[in-house]
């Protein structure tokens, strides 16, 4: 079990995320086969594994996960009850439509969700939250399989090699300061060049600008003057001997997101690719 951060995240939020972490798919919900030579080539050319060798996901199990996430959301945030009920009522009930819904969620294709928001007048944030947190344990299971199939040291791109998501965090490795990016959805960690912005891929010299928090140089925020994106970064060399858990670091550094956005930078990890 991972360790919650010591930074200032409210207790009830930690309890909520702990409960979400406990929502995991049953054995057999996510089935994935290793990519063949042709798929491997596409992956090497930069197409995320999810698109070249997608897993098959049990439809009923996905909706069961979604309902568990919904229950947890209401339990920890009673104010969301009405929004959550609206979302649950608007979800497709017909098995064929349910299957199509899961397929569109898996392919990270947003139009079906946008349509649902419009048709049923849903809160886009609530729908997005529930769907993402039902998808997350599925992607985590898929990424665990995928780790054996593709070498994430070689990928070197700004998007996640497994699910195609944008990085929510970076880490500067202890030994030689190599940089790794971290995907907040499937929790894959992959190598990226030391200099440059993973969102717009610019290598402008001022793309390396960063600021730190007073009194805590374990964390840096790299900012990009080209796309105005920012990247929360953990400097492992300044983290002492403590073991770093990127899931909790991502949640525990929400104050860095707030800081960066207050400075006019944009959270590009949330944008569709
Ligand atoms: Zn990912
Ligand atoms: Zn940029």
pLDDT number for residue 214: 72
Ligand nearest to the CA of 181: 1
Confidence at residue 68, expressed as pLDDT on a 0 to 100 scale: 97
CA of 114 to the centre of ligand 2 (A): 26
Compute the distance from residue 203 Cα to the ligand 2 centre, in Å: 9
Determine the pLDDT at residue 34.
94
pLDDT digits (tens, 9 = 90+) for 136-148: 999 999 999 999 9
Distance in Å, CA 190 to ligand 2 centroid: 18
Instruction: Give the Å distance between the CA of 149 and the centre of ligand 1.
Output: 14
Count other C-beta atoms under 10 Å from residue 60's C-beta.
12
pLDDT at 168: 95
Residue-wise pLDDT for 157-179, tens only, equals 999 999 999 999 999 998 888 99
The per-residue DSSP string of 28-68 comes to TSEE-----HHHHHHHHTT--HHHHSPPEE-HHHHHHHHHH
How much distance in Å is there from the Cα of 219 to the middle of ligand 1?
22
Closest ligand to residue 208's CA:
2
Q: In terms of C-beta density within 10 A (0-12 exposed, 13-18 middle, 19 or more buried), how is residue 176 classed?
A: exposed
Ligand nearest to the CA of 166: 1
How far apart are alpha carbons 225 and 192 in whole angstroms?
Answer: 19
What is the rounded (10 degree) CA torsion for 110, 157, 50, 250? -70
**Across residues 57-62, what is the average pLDDT?**
96
Residue 219 β-bridge partners: 234
């Amino acid at each position: 079990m991972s360790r919650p951060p010591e930074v200032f995240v409210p207790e009830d939020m930690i309890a909520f995320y702990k409960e979400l972490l406990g929502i995991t798919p049953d054995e057999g919900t996510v089935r994935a086969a290793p990519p063949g030579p042709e798929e491997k080539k596409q992956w090497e050319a930069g197409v995320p594994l999810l698109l070249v060798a997608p897993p098959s996901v049990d439809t009923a199990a996905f909706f069961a996960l979604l309902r568990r996430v919904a229950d947890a959301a209401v339990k920890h945030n009673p104010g969301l009850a009405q929004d959550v009920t609206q979302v649950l009522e608007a979800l497709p009930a017909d098995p064929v439509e349910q299957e199509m819904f899961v397929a569109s969620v898996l392919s990270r294709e947003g139009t079906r969700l946008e349509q649902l928001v419009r048709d049923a007048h849903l809160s886009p944030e609530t729908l997005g939250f529930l769907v993402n947190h039902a998808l997350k344990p599925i992607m985590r299971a898929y990424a665990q399989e995928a780790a054996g199939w593709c070498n994430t040291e070689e990928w070197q791109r700004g998007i996640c090699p497994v699910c195609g998501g944008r990085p929510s965090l970076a880490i500067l490795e202890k030994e030689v300061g190599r940089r790794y990016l971290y995907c907040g959805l499937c929790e894959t960690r992959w190598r990226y060049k030391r200099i440059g912005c993973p969102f717009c891929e610019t290598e402008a010299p001022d793309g390396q600008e960063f600021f730190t928090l007073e009194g805590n140089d374990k964390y840096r925020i790299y900012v990009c003057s080209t796309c105005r994106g920012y990247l929360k970064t953990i400097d492992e060399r300044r983290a002492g001997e403590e073991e770093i858990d990127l899931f909790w670091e991502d949640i525990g550094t929400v104050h860095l997101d707030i800081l960066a956005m207050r400075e006019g930078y944009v959270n590009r990890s949330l944008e569709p690719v």
